[in-house]
Amino acid sequence: MAKKPDLYNWDTLPKEQVRKGVERSGFRGEDVLLVMNWLDPGMKTNPHSHPFEQVVYIVQGQMRFYIGDEIVEGGPGSLIRIPPDVEHYGEPCGDERVLNLDVFNPIRDDYRHLVEYQKEEFE
């Protein structure tokens, strides 16, 4: 008989404070990584790039993304694709905390520490 799947909730997963105003938690599948970000208005931005395609889903709040030379703004329900190796960053717009969900495939090795609590599921 197959093991019953574990049920998790973003509100109770371990959170990592990245810097002031930025926290994140992770959840993984076999080949996919989900990272929920809690972003406070006024947080320090961090322009960066990586070799991973990134899909962003805005869960709560308004967010402005700088992707290469383009700027896009979205709110709850918005989806944004960030191609690999393109410099990008985001920042909250307004006074509300933003929750944005990032999806990566394959799983980023530099984020595996976020899903250490799931280790036994993938051994």
- Domains plus CATH for the chain? 15-115 (2.60.120.10)
Decide if pLDDT at 4 tops 80: no
What is the amino acid identity at position 63? M
pLDDT for residue 2: 56
For 101, residues 6+ apart whose C-beta sits below 8 A from its C-beta are 34, 35, 36, 37, 56, 57, 58, 59
| Tokens representing residue 65 in the block | 């993304």
Decide if pLDDT at 21 tops 70: yes
Residue 3 or residue 41, greater confidence: 41
Cα separations in angstroms, 16 against 36, 68, 111, 123: 10, 27, 11, 23
Tell me the pTM.
0.92
Q: Which pLDDT tens digit goes with each residue over 27-46?
A: 999 999 999 999 999 999 99
